[in-house]
Structures are given as structure tokens and as C-alpha cells.
């Protein structure tokens, strides 16, 4: 009785890269959704946030709904990129504000940010990616 094994390294590599791209697109969608929710739930401005307040205020309701995630990830060598973007020209000013009485929505200690990072890390877990990539080889 003999056992034959076929090396499918190239197919695995292709499957692994496909899995990374798909999961990265889903991760970008998670970030887009959670950022939109954080902005939509915040108060509207004016008035500005009280000095030292953790209660966020934003200047426009349009900003929350203006975020989009790319439908595909791009790859250059070993670097993968998925994009989250908006058509609001002053979005960076509203999302990443610092100074007295202003709220930085991308601050790492915010609940929505920590929750988003945890969901993204879970989605991009190497063991999970390998399982997705090898799924096509199961008998």
C-alpha cells in the first residue's frame, strides 16, 4: 500500500492571498460601519463640546453617512491595502480633532475604536486565514 502526496504550495499561496484580500475588505467594512455609527450617535454641533468633555459633537449629519469601503483590496508584493474613504472634504478635521473642547474620534481609548480593532484582529487572525485558504483543498 502506498500513499501519494501532491504538493500544492502555489495553490495554497494563491488561496491564502485571496483570503487575506477578502478578509481585509470585510475589515475595512467593519471600520466604515463602526465609524459611521460613532459619528451618527454623537451630538450635533453647535454647540461645541464642553471643555474636557468626552461627549463628542460633530458639525454635520452628512459626515456619518458619507463613509465608504473599497469593494476590493489591492496588493503590491506582500502589502495589502483596503481603503475607507469619504467624499466630505473636511472629514479629517472633524474626525481627528484635537485641542480644548474637541473630540478625536480615532482616539485609541474610545469604546467604538477598541471594539472595531478587536473585530478586525479576529477577522485577520492567521489561524482563521489559513483555515479559509485551505478550505478549498478539503476532501
For residue range 61-82, what is the model confidence (pLDDT) as tens digits?
Answer: 677 788 899 999 999 988 999 9
pTM: 0.76
DSSP β-bridge partners for residue 82: none
pLDDT (tens digit per residue) in 2-59: 888 777 788 888 888 999 999 999 999 999 999 888 887 765 555 555 666 655 555 5
**Segment 104-127, tens digit of pLDDT:** 778 888 888 899 999 999 999 999
Determine the pLDDT at residue 51. Answer: 65
Q: How is residue 28 written as a grid cell?
A: 475595512
Beta carbons within 8 Å of 14's beta carbon, 6+ residues apart: none
The DSSP letter of residue 90 is T
Predicted pLDDT at 116: 94
Which run of H or E residues covers position 85?
A: strand 84-86
* Long-range contacts of residues 71-75, Cβ cutoff 8 Å, at least 24 apart: 71/25, 72/21, 72/25, 73/20, 73/21, 73/22, 73/24, 73/25, 73/28, 75/17, 75/21
pLDDT at 139 over 70: no
pLDDT digits (tens, 9 = 90+) for 77-104: 889 999 999 888 777 776 777 766 666 7
Amino acid at each position: 500500500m502506498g500513499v501519494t502526496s501532491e504538493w500544492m504550495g502555489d495553490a495554497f499561496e494563491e488561496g491564502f492571498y485571496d483570503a487575506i484580500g477578502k478578509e481585509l475588505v470585510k475589515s475595512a467594512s467593519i471600520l466604515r460601519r463602526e465609524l459611521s455609527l460613532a459619528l451618527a450617535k454623537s451630538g450635533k454641533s453647535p454647540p461645541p463640546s464642553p471643555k474636557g468633555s468626552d461627549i463628542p459633537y460633530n458639525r454635520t449629519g452628512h459626515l456619518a453617512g458619507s463613509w465608504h469601503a473599497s469593494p476590493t483590496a489591492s496588493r503590491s508584493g506582500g502589502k495589502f491595502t483596503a481603503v475607507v474613504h469619504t467624499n466630505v472634504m473636511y472629514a479629517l478635521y472633524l474626525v481627528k480633532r484635537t485641542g480644548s473642547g474637541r473630540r478625536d474620534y480615532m482616539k485609541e481609548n474610545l469604546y467604538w475604536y477598541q471594539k472595531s480593532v478587536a473585530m478586525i484582529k479576529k477577522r485577520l487572525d492567521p489561524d482563521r486565514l489559513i483555515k479559509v485558504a485551505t478550505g478549498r483543498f478539503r476532501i
